[in-house]
Amino acid sequence: MNYPPKLNNIINLFQTLPEDERRETLVSYADAAKKQEPKPGEHFELEDVRKDQECADTVGVYLHVDEQGKAHFRMTLGPEVQTLTRAMTAILCKGLDGATPQEILDLPSDFVTRIVGAELVRVRSQTTYYVLSRIKGICKVWLDRQRMAAVA
Amino acid sequence: MANASKSYAHPEVLVETGWLAEHLADPAIRIIESNEDILLYDTGHIPGAVHIDWRADLQDQTIRDYISPQQFAAVCSREGISPETTCIFYGDKANWWACYALWVFRLFGHTRVKILNGGRDKWKSEGRPMTREVPKYPATNYPVPPKRLDHEIRAFAEDALAQSKSGKPLIDVRSPGEFRGEITHMPEYPQEGVLRGGHIPGAKSVPWKAAVNDDGTFKPAEELAKIYVDGCGVKPETETIVYCRIGERSSHTWFALTYLLGLDNVRNYDGSWTEWGNRVGMPIEKST
């Protein structure tokens, strides 16, 4: 599987790390999650802000698709969102930036284990996959609308 | 040791944030953080605190059970804890997992245990110091406990069934929706594989949160007595069993009943609803 280049770089980074440094790096990404919030003046084709059963607080996903069909994401996280979810937010916003919505939708989720590590996935599987499912969800809505517009 | 003396039966089991701030370097204590958020300790913790993960450190990795006495001794030795060390537990979620870890330490007979009243959130909200520095303590040689106190403070499904049939106090500390059988997980949490919803017949619903104030500190003894003694009929001479979904929220209530109200006959059914709601043939009651 060829992952988007930016995501591939992140996967390769995490795969070289011993467990303690993997945790430190996840925490560094979690610290950076706030930088993924929408900036003033930014435009989005889709916004999906909601509180799901699977997550401890509200998570917002904002999608902009540029003229080249490349996706760019912003996300907002409520204060109760857990550290691992924050980390995955920063990782995926950066790693999937510039991929197409279809590429993201087709992405297998196996890379999550390679980033987070099997142990954290085992004990927090719902948490680790939640952000990816939300990003895929907004990409699917965007693609469905494009298809509907094309046949209209 | 300073504490919240609000007529609790054992006020010495609670320490306040102000007291702990003045005793961070006390060699007689070990501060232990235990959380639901698995990376929260890594983002910052009370200076000198060690991290004990409820799943990785305290549970057997294959069988659904707790670690062996040998493994418990190894965990304590690793963290520089001896039988004389006073372990002060704190964590997120108003100390759910801190109480759970304390309960597991009691399972192995470690007697010097305390809870930081209000937990991690109160410490942080008061602007007290946090650090990412992970402390290292000289390893100890913690003696292997002779046994786990499985029959003293822990209840199994058969015990809960007998309790249900006898009409003795059973307290379900889950959310009202879980108790009524409308949902099988707490609100805002994933469904983790329970096939049936409801509660153990005869159980009374007292969500764990009834025991705490808005800031996560425990309510005064007289309020706790109204809730549990007057409201649920718990009493010193009668055995009480508490349960939730996997035993963490009920550890919190077990702590309040055992140490703050002074009831000696309280056991935590850690199999809780994820066992009861899946086990073939167990009686279930639903209510509206």
| Helix A19-31 / helix A5-15 crossing angle, nearest 10 deg | 140
Residues of B whose CB is below 8 A from A126? 190, 192
**Residue B134 is assigned to a structural domain of this protein:** no
A7-62: per-residue pLDDT in tens?
A: 999 999 999 999 899 999 999 999 999 999 999 999 999 999 998 777 778 999 99
- Residue B61 sits in the same domain as residue B118: yes
pLDDT at B53: 93
Q: Domains in chain A, ordered, with CATH?
A: 5-151 (3.90.1010.10)
Asked if A26 is an interface residue toward chain B (Cβ–Cβ < 8 A), one would say: yes
Quick check: B188 and A51 CB within 8 A?
yes
**Residue B225 is assigned to a structural domain of this protein:** yes
- Residue B101 sits in the same domain as residue B183: no
Residues of B classed as catalytic = 244
Quick check: A27 and B188 CB within 8 A?
no
- Residue B22 sits in the same domain as residue B113: yes
- Residue B33 sits in the same domain as residue B105: yes
Which domain does B25 fall in, by range?
A: 11-125
**Residue B1 is assigned to a structural domain of this protein:** no
- Residue B105 sits in the same domain as residue B166: no
- Total tally of structural domains belonging to chain B: 2
Asked if B280 is an interface residue toward chain A (Cβ–Cβ < 8 A), one would say: no
- Residue B118 sits in the same domain as residue B159: no
B154-163: per-residue pLDDT in tens?
A: 999 999 999 9
Quick check: A123 and B38 CB within 8 A?
yes
Q: What 3-state DSSP class applies to B250?
A: helix
- Residue B175 sits in the same domain as residue B72: no
The ipTM assigned to this model is 0.81
A148 by Cβ neighbours in 10 Å (0-12 / 13-18 / 19+) ranks as: exposed
- Answer whether residue B4 shows pLDDT above 70: no
Query: Chain A: residue nearest B186 by CA?
Result: A53
**Residue at token pair 């965007």:** A142
**Residue B228 is assigned to a structural domain of this protein:** yes
Quick check: B40 and A30 CB within 8 A?
no
Asked if A120 is an interface residue toward chain B (Cβ–Cβ < 8 A), one would say: yes
* Mean pLDDT of all residues in B180-208: 82
pTM of the complete model: 0.89
Read off the CATH number of the domain in which B47 is found. 3.40.250.10
Alpha-carbon span A28 to A33, nearest angstrom = 9
Alpha-carbon span B82 to B244, nearest angstrom = 31
